[in-house]
């Protein structure tokens, strides 16, 4: 008999906590008729605050890791791969033994990476345009292959984000292309 009383009392507390039996779903957002009062909490706010984007112009980076066409990650091999963003909207760097250059622009809000979970909206839209490069033959075929992969990544750039002072280049869908460290 005592167990029944505890269960019934527990169900009574649960029904009261969920707002009674009026059929309202407590997990749904409040409607416009639900206005906060002095005794009820305000509806939750969204956590997507727009933050000021870090300054990209005037930064220099050394590529440390990039994705291969097979989808696996690799470190740069036997050479320094760099990228520098000038404040005038130009970028330049070394793909290994050949140099490249172009123009860069950013647009849209900057979605700061703070959740600990990466998503396609992290960072900001980045366009790398007018990409040109020298065509000196490298002595090592593996470096030539690496250069081709890096140049493809630059042509597929779509987003950038700083995560713990590391520059990440991503494609337009947020897919990883490469990451760097300050140079």
Domain annotation covers residue 44: no
Q: Residue 26: which pLDDT band, with cuts at 50, 70 and 90?
A: very low
What 3-state class would DSSP assign to 20? coil
Number of domains in the chain: 1
Question: Can you tell me the distance from the alpha carbon of 92 to that of 113, in angstroms, rounded to the nearest whole number?
Answer: 26
Domain annotation covers residue 30: no
Domain annotation covers residue 5: no
Domain annotation covers residue 38: no
Check residue 113 and give its pLDDT. 78
Question: Can you tell me the distance from the alpha carbon of 123 to that of 143, in angstroms, rounded to the nearest whole number?
Answer: 30
Q: What is the mean pLDDT of the chain?
A: 77
Range of the domain at 143: 59-182
Residue 163 has pLDDT above 70, yes or no: yes
Residue with the bigger pLDDT between 23 and 95: it is 95
Q: What is the pTM for the complete model shown?
A: 0.70
Domain annotation covers residue 79: yes
Question: Can you tell me the distance from the alpha carbon of 49 to that of 51, in angstroms, rounded to the nearest whole number?
Answer: 6
End-to-end distance of the chain based on CA atoms, in angstroms?
74
Q: What kind and span of H or E run contains 69?
A: none
CATH number of the domain enclosing 70: 2.40.128.270
């Amino acid at each position: 008999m005592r167990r029944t009383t505890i269960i019934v009392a527990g169900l009574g507390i649960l029904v009261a906590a969920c707002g009674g039996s009026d059929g309202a779903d407590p997990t749904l957002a409040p409607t416009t008729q639900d206005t906060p009062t002095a005794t009820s909490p305000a509806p939750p706010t969204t956590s997507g605050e727009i933050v000021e984007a870090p300054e990209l112009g005037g930064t220099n980076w050394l590529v440390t890791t990039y994705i291969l066409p097979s989808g696996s990650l690799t470190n740069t091999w036997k050479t320094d791969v760099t990228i520098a963003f000038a404040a005038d909207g130009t970028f330049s760097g070394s793909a290994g033994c050949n140099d490249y250059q172009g123009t860069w622009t950013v647009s849209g809000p900057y979605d700061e990476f703070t959740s600990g979970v990466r998503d396609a909206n992290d960072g900001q839209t980045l366009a790398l345009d007018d990409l040109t490069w020298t065509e000196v033959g490298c002595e090592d075929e593996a470096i030539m292959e690496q250069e081709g992969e890096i140049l493809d990544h630059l042509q597929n750039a779509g987003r950038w984000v700083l995560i713990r002072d590391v520059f990440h280049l991503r494609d337009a869908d947020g897919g990883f292309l490469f990451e760097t460290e300050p140079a």
